[in-house]
A and B are shown apart, each in its own frame.
Chain A
């Protein structure tokens, strides 16, 4: 199978979220279960039709086993690839491969977390790195603070530039009734937020929320027979060089510089074709790094690129239209919520924040400490 031959071969036919924000009284698996039930119904299928399961969570050592048991499934194919927040963009690729190979006919990708109500802190099974431990890093923010310090030193990126990212995210969140952090936010408030790990303040950090999401994919030929508007898989690619930030070759260039071109080549699109850009914004620097690495602006120019509301509502480029991890939802691993927003935009169901004629959306997942980078491109029928 050639890379190009995967383009358009599968489609998301069901998508749902559950418990975005705060969901007191529900476990991570219960929220995941709610999202899965809604996604399968959205696809016009029955739960027992699901014969492929793809999952990664922050709280299950064996996520596919737990999901299979909870939902009462007997899948023919399953894959629990865990590359942190980027897992779900990779799952789109794995699911398409499995569907196209006939290893399964209906694939469920799912995630759930109750980290906000369970403790209000990031839940992670990430193990410490022995060569880092003596220096007491507080990951993930330590790693992102280090990367930000380097970007500022090399390219003159400023805290004001980071603030622009946070303000744009809030601007979009204010158009999204589901977003957790809504309301006015001024540049002064952002700039005077408490410093947590220089140069990153509380305003530069994503939310800690609950939330679950799930989507269902089938082969494209079958998608036409289902009730909803299919959102086609156009391409995806991953790249990964390191686990620990110590081993990241260049702190100002992520592996997105390789995953992006891989995904775009498979999808047969370039930056100008992309209507909505969904970037994993665990911290404000992420948005800047990924805009550069994915080719929306030259390396080092990301800070200047985001100035004057360019990625805010009404700006030149629609970035993180749900409000992002910064202002919409971030339940530990956010990757599947990027996909949820891309699907909403391509289906034309994004309400006040809807981008006109959205036919192609890019979802860029980030896992670990700028480690795993997975890019996926989705499109409407018109994009094929």
Chain B
């Protein structure tokens, strides 16, 4: 694991720098314990002592749609991470999934750069 230096970066650039180093990191406010996504300079309650922590990488499908374009279909999902925050992502290995299905994150090298995607796990993968 590389030691990513984000000390001079804003939250968006820091998130992307971690991702480029193969690390899925999210913010947590030290004083309140609030997790955050997407990365910002202040938490919803106003805490600014934000630190980067490794995301557990596990979560649940909160909502999902399948975009059916002429060039092909792909799903777009909102994933509720086990830390309690939500992010937009996709499940590249399946056409769609049940809401509530358990998922695990991995970093995929897409054309436009690395991105966090999810795969079904456990019984939901069957």
- Residues of A at under 8 Å CB distance from B? 130-138, 141-142, 145-150, 153, 194-200, 244-247, 251
Contacts and interface: CB of A to CB of B under 8 A. Distances in A.
A155 to B, nearest CB: 12
B8 interface: no
B55 interface: no
A197 B89 contact: no
A246 B38 contact: yes
Contact of A134 (B63, B64, B68, B113): B113
A131 B88 contact: yes
A197 B66 contact: yes
A142 B67 contact: yes
A200 B96 CA distance: 14
A247 B38 CA distance: 8
Interface string B65-92: 1111100001011100000001111100
Please classify the interface of chain B as helix (H, G, I), strand (E, B), loop, or mixed, using the class held by over half of its residues.
strand
Contacts of A135: 76, 88-90, 115
A198 B66 contact: yes
Contact of B112 (A134, A150, A245): A134
Contacts of A194: 68
Contacts of A133: 112
Interface residues of B, number: 28
Contacts of B68: 194-198
B41 to A, nearest CB: 15
B65 A197 contact: yes
A141 B76 CA distance: 11
B65 A142 contact: yes
A141 to B, nearest CB: 8
Given A136-B76, A195-B68, A196-B68, A147 B63 contact: yes
A241 to B, nearest CB: 10
B110 to A, nearest CB: 6
Interface of B: 12, 37-39, 62-69, 74, 76-78, 86-90, 96, 99-100, 110, 112-113, 115
A12 B67 CA distance: 42
Contacts of A196: 67-68
A330 to B, nearest CB: 20
Contacts of B39: 131
Nearest to A148: B65
Contacts of A137: 67, 76, 88
A145 B37 CA distance: 21
A137 B74 CA distance: 10
Nearest to B69: A138
Given A135-B115, A142-B67, 5 more contacts: A131-B12, A145-B67, A150-B99, A153-B63, A251-B62
Contacts of A246: 37-38, 78, 86-88
Contacts of B76: 135-137, 142, 145-146
Contact of A131 (B63, B74, B87, B100): B87
B67 A138 contact: yes
Nearest to A144: B65
Contacts of A244: 38, 88
Contacts of A197: 65-68
Contact of A251 (B63, B67, B100, B112): B63
A135 B38 CA distance: 14
A136 B67 contact: yes
Contacts of B78: 146, 245-246, 251
A138 B37 CA distance: 21
Contacts of B64: 146, 149, 198
Contacts of B96: 198
Contacts of B62: 150, 251
A137 B87 CA distance: 13
B65 A146 contact: yes
28 contacts: A131-B12, A131-B38, A131-B87, A135-B76, A135-B89, A135-B90, A136-B67, A136-B74, A138-B69, A141-B65, A142-B65, A142-B67, A145-B76, A146-B65, A146-B76, A150-B99, A153-B99, A194-B68, A195-B66, A195-B68, A197-B65, A199-B65, A244-B88, A246-B87, A246-B88, A247-B38, A251-B62, A251-B63
